[in-house]
Amino acid sequence: MRIRTRTGLCFTLAALVGAAFGLATPPFSATASARAPKHAAAGATRDPQDVAARIVGEEMTTNGAWPKLAWLADRIGPRLSGSPGAAAAVAWTLEEFRRDGLSNVRAEKVMVPHWVRGEESARLVAPYGRRLLVTALGMSVPTPAEGVTAEIVEVDSLDALKTLGDKARGRIVLFSHETTAGREMAGYGATSPLRVKGPSEAARLGAVAALVRSLGTLRARLPHTGTLVYADDAPKIPAAALAEEDALLLHRLLEAGQPVRVHLSLGCVTLPDAESANVVAELRGRERPDEVVVIGGHLDSWDLGDGAIDDGAGVVMAMEALRLLKHLDLVPRRTIRAVLYMNEENGARGGKTYVETHKGEMARHVAAIESDSGADHPLGFRVAAGPGGEAAARALAAPLAAVGAADVKAADEGGVDIGPMKAEGVPLLGLRQDVTHYFDWHHTAADTLDKVEPRALAENAAAMAFMAWALAESPEPLPRVPPAAPPAAPAAPTAPAAAPAVSTKPGAP
């Protein structure tokens, strides 16, 4: 395959990149890079432009990430925490890391939720009968054995729900809001609270169940699952995602002024927590092996599809990044540690347990990178670090202009699994992909290998490999995340205010 280069940009950024690494950086030369031996002595070639070209050239030629993803998605498939698929994925990734010659390969115990979907169905029963396509939201409680039949009431936001009052009591609340598509994740970010928080908020008002219009961007009558989080102080009611077309049907019937009744049946079961593991492997650093750059994705997936884009792609990017650097003898100053987290989807136990297990090392974790937004073409990185971190990361990422991954943006987080490290001061980076079509298939039965384009996967693997190397090689690490500000002191007591006038309007407090 041909390697796309943007040499003009590389020339203009050469001085900045060189300063980041403490090097006098020569202009990028694809020809010189092509002549460089694959197995140069460790540390012999540490010019960032040359290293980037070698990594990109090797991965675009061999595409070593692809067969890994094909095995994980096609041969192992769904990997929900506590399932046989999750256990098989742990065993296979351990074997792969050892085959690739990595160091300190191990499984680190994580206790995970064990939720099983069971049978699920829904049917419109009034004003006429029709099957509806639903799938239970992760961690939902079941309906009674006979199911739940109730009238539908529709809202498009959590704020609108609050205005329903008694209108929600005894009903099924339908949360219906369009999830818009885009290269970034803003559309999903705007609607995901309806799925995560909506069921508990509906339960507070006396609703008997909740339906959520699927958080998808393709109208293909695919229900999209995803986890909900029950509030401790609210009743637990059954909740399911409804295919977008079916949500729109209910909306039209309600808009016509007709009472709409639905029957919902969910057979979910929550079993005792199960023992599982994060999978860990390392490329040991040549000078400061006790300092660590973490890379990774989450090994679990939802049970509907094969978990190719969410997050098999992120998993194999991390696996292939270590293999590439090992194969090319690009051993950086610090250790690069791949962590394949278990249970991101319905509990995030893997990320939390990793920090607990490595609490004494957190001061020596200099950065963490996560990829969990599919496998389309890379755009760059989002960075959560201390003052100056964005500029420093941008300088390090500059040689990735060749694969379009040099754009760096400041952010509050880098991903769910690495999120717990932020409180320990660890700078966080998220590998950004174009997610225009990611939410077409996200959390559905259509999350399968054919949704991944091999070239784009190779670009992502190369981008992760180079950025991990750059962070581990740079003489100065990124600025650490400053401690969170302490909570504000309570306000001094004031004189009692005059009693408010009592309103006589219906529904007033």
Which residues does the annotation mark as catalytic?
344
Name the residue type at position 174.
L
DSSP 375-427: SS-EEEEEEE-STTHHHHHHHHHGGGGGGT--EEEE-S-S-TTTGGGGGGT--
Measured distance between the N- and C-terminal CA atoms of the chain, rounded to whole angstroms: 68
Count of CB atoms situated within 10 Å of the CB of 331: 23
Q: What angle do CA 239, 242, 247 make, to 5 degrees?
A: 125
* 385 Cβ contact list (under 8 Å, min separation 6): 392, 393, 427, 428, 478, 479, 480, 481
Query: What 3-state DSSP class applies to 432?
Result: strand
Nearest to 405 by CA among 56, 48, 101, 29: 56
Q: What is the enclosing helix (H) or strand (E) of 341? A: strand 334-341
Q: What is the dihedral of CA 431, 434, 440, 444, to 10 degrees?
A: -20
Q: What angle do CA 7, 10, 16 make, to 5 degrees?
A: 165
Q: What is the enclosing helix (H) or strand (E) of 334? A: strand 334-341
Q: What angle do CA 19, 23, 27 make, to 5 degrees?
A: 90
Tokens of 23: 């090097």
**From CA 249, how far away is CA 124, in angstroms rounded?**
10
* 448 Cβ contact list (under 8 Å, min separation 6): 73, 305, 306, 308, 441
Phi, psi of 91 (to 5 degrees): -60, -40
Sign of dihedral through CA atoms 99, 103, 104, 110?
A: negative
Q: How many residues does the chain have?
A: 509
Dmax (CA) for the chain in angstroms is 85
* 404 Cβ contact list (under 8 Å, min separation 6): 4, 377, 378, 379, 380, 459
**From CA 20, how far away is CA 35, in angstroms rounded?**
25
Query: What 3-state DSSP class applies to 185?
Result: coil
**From CA 143, how far away is CA 267, in angstroms rounded?**
7
